[in-house]
Amino acid sequence: MRYQAPISDLQFLLFDVLGADTLHQLERYRDATPDIMTAVIEEAGKLAADVLQPLNKVGDQQGCHYDPKTHEVTTPQGFRDAYQQFSAGGWASLDAPTEFGGQGLPHTLKFIVDEMVCSSNMSLGMYAGLTHGAISALYAHGCEQLKATYLEKLVSGEWTGTMCLTEPQCGTDLGLIRTRATPRADGSYSVEGTKIWITGGEHDLADNIVHLVLAKLPGAPDTTKGISLFIVPKVLPDSGERNPVFCGGLEHKMGIKGSATCVLNFEQAQGWLVGAENDGMRAMFTMMNEARLMVGMQGLGIAEMAYQESLGFARERLQGRAVSGPGNPDGPADPIIVHPDVRRMLMRQKVLNEGMRALALFTGRQLDLSVAHPDAGEREAADDLVQLLTPVVKAFLTDEGFNNANQGLQVLGGAGFTTDWPLEQLVRDARIARIYEGTNGIQALDLVGRKLGLHGGRLIGRLFTLLATHLQAHADAPFHQPLAAAVKSLEDATAWVAGRGMEDPEQAAAAAAPYLRLMALTVIAYLWSRMAIVAQQQLDAGAGNTALLEGKLVSAQFYFDKLLPESSWLLADITSGKHSVMALSDAQWDA
């Protein structure tokens, strides 16, 4: 079916619930009026449906092709034209800095476009997605000469960017990297080594590919404290000569086959230092944190498309009769949407998708406030929430994005297991999002190991203040009691993790994944409470889209009845401790 951008839900969230209609009051976003934002959303939906989605199956069937003689990669048929159209329309530069040709629009708006792009063609969207991260890293940490050389071309989409971290012997533990950068007489560096799993490392979509590469200088500490960041272009900007960085092959993947995932060999390629020596991890985290939020939107985008496909199928597929009596008495059978089990699967998709969208856009708005609010205290408070919620957005949206795609396939039954329907591709494509840019287990460790204790616990304190203020202000609102109970569970879990984790780090590590999930469910419960309050207010006033508003109340009820109760057993999981996780001896694993 043709992708339908969830415009009504987006407008309700942005303008009625989250207050993004006031972003244009900030000087940095003065052009982002509600009318402009709505126009961008509508046009992005058309681009996704008309240009990107028709190529999604093509990309899966054809994949990318590597020529070992030339070391070149050819993308699927139609990808280059679609990418050029995407770039020419300014979609690659939506929130990029205006001084380098970007439009300077809010990050929240980019989150929305990211969702639509990933709903319609995740593989194609990844080429521009990694480029955006390279822009942010270079803008934040590059010298003026590097910015002048690269940013305008990257912002326009004329060039693309990559992030080169992983090597054959190391992934998360980047202190083990072997790529080396040796100083040259002209101030540049000779970069030598091999990187693997590089998204967009070689392709035919753009004239140049700009690699951001982690490497170690001579004599640098053999840990993460000895890592520096370098910019290494495929084509040298000054001379137009080919830099000796070559694709050594493509990964053979279960999904996202239209995205070129490459082995890259740097054969004394010329590069330039970005930022200070041995400060590469800090610079790279600028790119990685942005990429993690983008990957969260990949999970949501896939989940939304899976929901639309399974809902359409359930409305048309005739099978059996409703247990309450025929719903289609003139036909041979009822559509399967009448069956409670099918409705449960559809409701889980719908309610989680809308809740995840609220979490993502709430985080996006905080990101906008963190860079644009005139008050330093407000910027700090917003940034604290962004830092805290980034691993939550990445992990929860990709976990549940995959689960919802899987639920969508189940709705289709046997049809979903065939390539005649798009669900099996969506399931395969969604699976990688839980792995790359730091596996979801790493996100959980980041949350409990770094974010909870950061600035003396200030980040988690911001969240608890936000939740407590909402509960106090809406004591008589629907769902107050279950929300308060979930907040109490999160408080108890936080105290347990903080206390036991200080005594024994393994306790915190064993609790990390359920703790992250508990936080996600609690914050989404807070957002469903806000959505339900606004929906009821608008219904009482006789304003808004009645069907959408009434649907919000039903969906909120489903969330608090069927999904939030998981928080109680997550607390039990956390406080049961590490013993049953860690107790097996080596001999007991396969006894």
pLDDT, position 94: 92
CB neighbours of residue 340 within 10 Å: 11
The first and second tokens of residue 394, run together, are 């990445």
pLDDT, position 170: 79
Contact 74, 64 (CB under 8 A): yes
7-144 maps to which CATH number?
1.10.540.10
Contact 126, 253 (CB under 8 A): no
Residues in a beta bridge with 266: 193, 245
Contact 354, 530 (CB under 8 A): no
- CA-to-CA dists, residue 56 to 76, 206, 404, 452, 516, angstroms: 10, 19, 19, 40, 32
Domain ranges of the chain: 7-144, 161-278, 285-313+350-405+426-575
CB neighbours of residue 388 within 10 Å: 23
pLDDT, position 576: 97
pLDDT, position 92: 87
Alpha carbon distance 471, 221 (integer Å):
50
Find the radius of gyration of the CA atoms of the chain.
Answer: 24
Give average pLDDT by consecutive 10-residue segment, the chain, 591 residues.
Answer: 97 97 95 96 98 98 97 98 95 92 95 98 94 92 96 96 90 81 97 96 97 95 91 97 97 97 97 95 85 96 98 96 87 94 98 98 97 97 98 98 98 97 98 95 96 97 98 96 98 96 94 98 98 97 95 98 97 97 94 88
Contact 129, 256 (CB under 8 A): no
For residue 437, indicate whether it is catalytic.
yes
Tokens 């992005």, residue?
44
| Total H helices, total E strands in the chain | 18, 9
- CA-to-CA dists, residue 256 to 12, 120, 251, 301, 326, angstroms: 31, 12, 11, 14, 42
Measured in degrees and rounded to the nearest 5, phi and psi for residue 199 equal -65, 125
Measured in degrees and rounded to the nearest 5, phi and psi for residue 184 equal -105, 165
The first and second tokens of residue 192, run together, are 């030598």
| Eight-state DSSP code of residue 438 | S
* Active-site annotation holder among 437, 491, 550, 566: 437
pLDDT, position 114: 97
Alpha carbon distance 591, 588 (integer Å):
5
pLDDT, position 275: 94
Alpha carbon distance 359, 265 (integer Å):
39
Identify the CA nearest to 556 among candidates 527, 517, 582: 527
Contact 268, 191 (CB under 8 A): yes
| Eight-state DSSP code of residue 55 | G
Alpha carbon distance 537, 563 (integer Å):
24
| Eight-state DSSP code of residue 182 | E
Contact 130, 162 (CB under 8 A): yes
Alpha carbon distance 356, 169 (integer Å):
35
Element (H, E) at 272: strand 261-274
pLDDT, position 405: 98
Class of domain 161-278: mainly beta
Alpha carbon distance 85, 94 (integer Å):
14
